[in-house]
Amino acid sequence: SSWIEEFVTSVESGRSPVATGGRHAERFGGQLVLVTGAGSGIGRATALAFAEAGARVVAVDRNKEAAARTAESSRLAGAPAAWAETVDVSDEQAMEKLAEKVTTEYGVVDVLVNNAGIGLSGSFFDTTPEDWKKILDVNLWGVIHGCRLFGRRMAERGQGGHIVNVASAAAYQPSRALPAYSTSKAAVLMLSECLRAELAGQGIGVTAVCPGFVNTAITSTAHFAGVDAGEEKRLQQRAARLYGLRNYPPEKVAAAILRAVVRNDAVVPVTAEARGARWLSRFAPGV
Ligand code: NAD
């Protein structure tokens, strides 16, 4: 089987991607991979998986210590070089500075993973305009800035590349509990498909990765801010019922991201419930 099948199997069998002994060290050798939200969860696992596959890694997070930890772990995992950058992806000027610095000091990014995102639960009428602004600023504008700034440089270089946008199964599965979050992710999904069409002729792939419920900080209690304890428990239980809440580790999403880059997949529903929702959805039947 191909290296990527082996890699995915090793992840699915419970071995960490950083513990596969560097067998795939050359697959992304020489490539520069930038991951946003790399300090935690899916972003951290993705940075480490690319590191193990031999990429040079730029770990970007608004949390400075978390970004530094991922850069350090990336070096240990096999990245020939890894850097940490502290940036809020919703800050256009900061993103411009980042793109300029990365291009000048490390080179043109070959693989961009727009992963940084925040969660927000609450019914539509409980969601304030401030809440909407906050979530769209990070989840949508963060992706727009990343695609514009790094995608343009990829296109100008003329040697191809790949952009992965981490959307969510929430992008095509309506829910009363997550209207703002789901709307932000639906926008990321469509943005990805439009950009994919635009960049196809230039050898630049664009993938929307849509995980279901994954065990990370975003799905932990910390992200039910403003929700009282009883309500939080109820929402958690609903999510558990809705998504099965299996013990789905971020490393499996990372493996799906690497596979999507290798295969140039368009839309990748990760986790069983995300795949199920995709086919059931009224909104994306043809995706
Ligand atoms: P996480 O909270 O563990 O990690 C998110 C990381 O992004 C954190 O390190 C955080 O500091 C960083 N971040 C947040 N806002 C930022 C900003 N404005 N600028 C820079 N960095 C920022 O969460 P996760 O579950 O790993 O989420 C990663 C992505 O996956 C998100 O886009 C999320 O919406 C998406 N996702 C997660 C799940 C899930 O069940 N965990 C499901 C579907 C989609």
pLDDT score of 240: 60
Please name which of 282, 180, 251 lies closest in space to residue 10, comparing C-alpha atoms. 251
> Does position 247 have pLDDT exceeding 70, yes or no?
no
Q: What is the number of the ligand 1 atom nearest to the C-alpha of 90?
A: 18
The larger pLDDT score, comparing residue 197 to residue 20, is at 197
Q: What is the pLDDT of residue 212?
A: 84
Q: Tell me: pLDDT of 86 over 70.
A: yes
The two tokens of residue 173 are 């599965």
- What is the atom index within ligand 1 of the atom nearest the CA of 45? 26
How far is the centre of ligand 1, averaged over its atoms, from the C-alpha of 1 (Å)? 32
Task: Please report the pLDDT score of residue 59 as a whole number.
Answer: 98
Is residue 26 predicted with pLDDT exceeding 90? no
> What is the pLDDT averaged over residues 241-269?
82
Which of the pair, 214 or 57, is modelled with greater confidence? 57
Model confidence at 222, in pLDDT bands (50, 70, 90)? very low
- Atom 24, ligand 1: residue with shortest CA distance: 41
Ligand 1 neighbour 277 (Cβ under 6 A): no
User: What average pLDDT does the structure give for the chain?
Assistant: 85
